[in-house]
Amino acid sequence: MLPWSKISSDSLPPLPENRIVVGVGSASVDFLATVAAYPKPDEKLTSTSSKVQGGGSAANALTCASRLGLNARLISKVADDLQGKSILEELQADGVDTSFMVVSKGGSSPFTYVIVDEQTKTRTGILTPGYPPMIPDDLSRSSLLSALDGARIVYSDVRFIETALLVAQEASCRNIPILVDADYKSEQLGDLLKLADYVVCSTKFPQAWTEAPSIPSALVSMLLRLPNIKFVVVTLGEEGCIMLERSVNEDLPTEEIDIDSLLELLMQKTDDSITFPTFVPSSVAKLRANKFGTVHGRLIVGTAEKIPPLELLDTTGAGDAFIGAVLYVVAICTNPPHYQQLEWNHR
């Protein structure tokens, strides 16, 4: 699914015995075509290369998590066609448990056409959803309980929102932490976010969901609207990410600071000459967003690795790989049901 030949669990810290992560969401086939430049209307192009590989946000994220050493279980749906068979085989080859996936008789498995722009190194996806779509009735009570047995964290990419909500409700009753990948607004998303402990967002989501004037103020709004959230991260592509972490102790005396001003200050402390990922954290403070209010917490700016242009292929699956890494960190750094403040060791 993801060309992560350099990733190995051998170089990572020892994992706890209980390291099961359960994902709910999409698993599909990606048809990638690389072109010299993105086509104009009515233009016909010849691809410079093509590839067929597994895709889907949840499937990609759990593939990453599995390669990092977690025991990944996926709840999703495919059809009993050739594409569905290839999806299952590729996931199984990467160590993902597919025994909780639903395979429909007849119908069609989901697939995505991906146009990779060789010039800008970007990708444009056109998704064709599978049919019939997954519904809560597809997941039996016994299968749901079995999937959650021993789980350390539950994750959803919100593609099957009703099923994801069903799983999250049961996980919440069992005090299993929940991470939601909020990529776009959808029905019942608010209900799912209210159950979440952690949220990772695409660049445009926080402002679209909160109608805030800036990303930092939108993150404050999200923490105010979602009191269960421990942290929310917004990804910024090659610019890295921004994370707002709620303080576990609001009784400590802290200064009040405008969060937009704080972000500007942290950005000034980043070093563009460093090629590997770094982060710049603020101290815990009362972070203010005008018209929304304040939260106790700290803001963290993370930079992305600077990849030489000749080594950069495209961004397909990049956000999903990020989610997989977050799942790994949360799974090994927290002890459900008690949340412990994450320690960010700068290496």
For residue range 34-49, list pLDDT tens digits in order.
999 999 999 999 999 9
Lowest mean pLDDT of 45-59, 215-229, 306-320, name the range. Answer: 306-320
* pLDDT band of 26, cuts 50, 70, 90: very high
Say yes or no to pLDDT of 336 above 50.
Answer: no
Q: Which domains does the chain have, with CATH numbers?
A: 18-24+57-106+133-333 (3.40.1190.20)
DSSP state at residue 13 = P
Nearest Cα neighbor of 57 from 153, 171, 149, 184 is 184
> Who has greater pLDDT, 190 or 252?
190
pLDDT (average), residues 79-104: 96
Percent of the chain with pLDDT over 90: 73
- pLDDT for residue 346: 36
Lowest mean pLDDT of 80-84, 134-138, 211-215, 343-347, name the range. Answer: 343-347
- pLDDT for residue 335: 53
- pLDDT for residue 12: 58
Helix (H) or strand (E) holding 259: helix 259-268
- pLDDT for residue 7: 45
Q: Are 186 and 158 in contact (CB under 8 A)?
A: yes
pLDDT (average), residues 84-96: 96
- Mean of pLDDT over the chain: 89
What are 211's two structure tokens? 């109608």
Helix then strand then coil, % of the chain, to nearest 5:
30, 30, 40
- Alpha carbon of 97 to those of 45, 92, 162: distances in Å? 39, 6, 22
- 330/183 Cα distance (integer angstroms): 19
- 250/248 Cα distance (integer angstroms): 6
- pLDDT for residue 332: 83
- pLDDT for residue 10: 55
- What is the number of other CB atoms lying within 10 angstroms of the CB of residue 206? 26
- pLDDT for residue 311: 77
- 85/338 Cα distance (integer angstroms): 39
pLDDT (average), residues 39-68: 93
- pLDDT for residue 11: 54
